[in-house]
Amino acid sequence: MSNRIAVVGVGRMGANMARRLKDSGFDVTAVYDLRRKQAKALAQELGCESPLRLSAVTALADVILTVVSDDASMEALFAQKGDSLLKGAAGRLFINCATVSPATHVMVETRAQAVGAASVEACMASSITQARQGTLYLMTAGQKSSCERAEPILATLSASRRYIGAAGTAAQVKALVNMVMNINTAGLAEGLGLGAALGLDLAMLREVFSQTGANSRVLETDGEDMQKRDHACFFSAAHAAKDSGIAVSLAKKAKRKVPLAQASLGQYTRMVDLGLGELDKSGVAELTFPGRGLKP
């Protein structure tokens, strides 16, 4: 495990991935985040550096994981001018784990190759607990040689991996995964909300759902939370809105209509507009249950 590893973006997911790698014997040499207090605290915990500049991160590592939340952040990390992870990046391997647009992953690979570096797309379909335990499900894309180089790290972070294809394809699949998940979550919130309006026992209703065609992974993870209004964040409504937006954009490019995706995007966008974007996606129930009375 001679590779020096840096993690850029140490929010809920990135910080726990860094901890997992450290615990597994990898040499975590640097962490970076625009939230300096957060980065410094994690660096102290892990016994590593928290550089002020992206180029310093690259100098301290052979492999750099990026775990940021949007296209603009990725553009800033891999900027062609000014401070950037690309400075002095020859021979480096970038493992990019964020859910961003497919075009952004293609851009990163192109820019990395131009400076003699390699890039792997490793889109995650799991949450905070799995990041800490190393049981993520990863969809990978990029050149196979680069994915093979990343394999020891990816194997430590995940229970299962699926190679999808060329750069951008894993991001397409991840967008569809989250599109369907978000539709299911919004649908469950409507079903339970209507059940509450009818005066039904919601524990009973959830049990019936679990034994019928209404069953889903979302029912298991979010159903009780919707009923109890426990929206501690594992996957935020703001991220749900962003990811559904990526899927809707892909549909427009493919000239396909996706009315359910559009509707669920509308629900999560409304949550953001109401200031509820940092609630877990289960918080969409705040829009559907009687008596919760949220107004724009």
Name all domains of the chain by residue range, CATH numbers in brackets. Answer: 4-166 (3.40.50.720), 172-287 (1.10.1040.10)
Helix axes 259-273 and 237-253, enclosed angle (nearest 10) = 140
Q: What is the pTM of this model?
A: 0.91
Alpha-carbon gap, residue 95 to 158, rounded angstroms: 14
User: Which tens digits make up the pLDDT trace of 193-220?
Assistant: 999 999 999 999 999 999 999 999 999 9
Neighbours of 186 (CB within 10 A): 26
On the question of pLDDT at 2 being above 70, the answer is no
Whether 68 and 99 have beta carbons less than 8 Å apart is answered as: no
Alpha-carbon gap, residue 26 to 43, rounded angstroms: 15
pLDDT of residue 296: 42
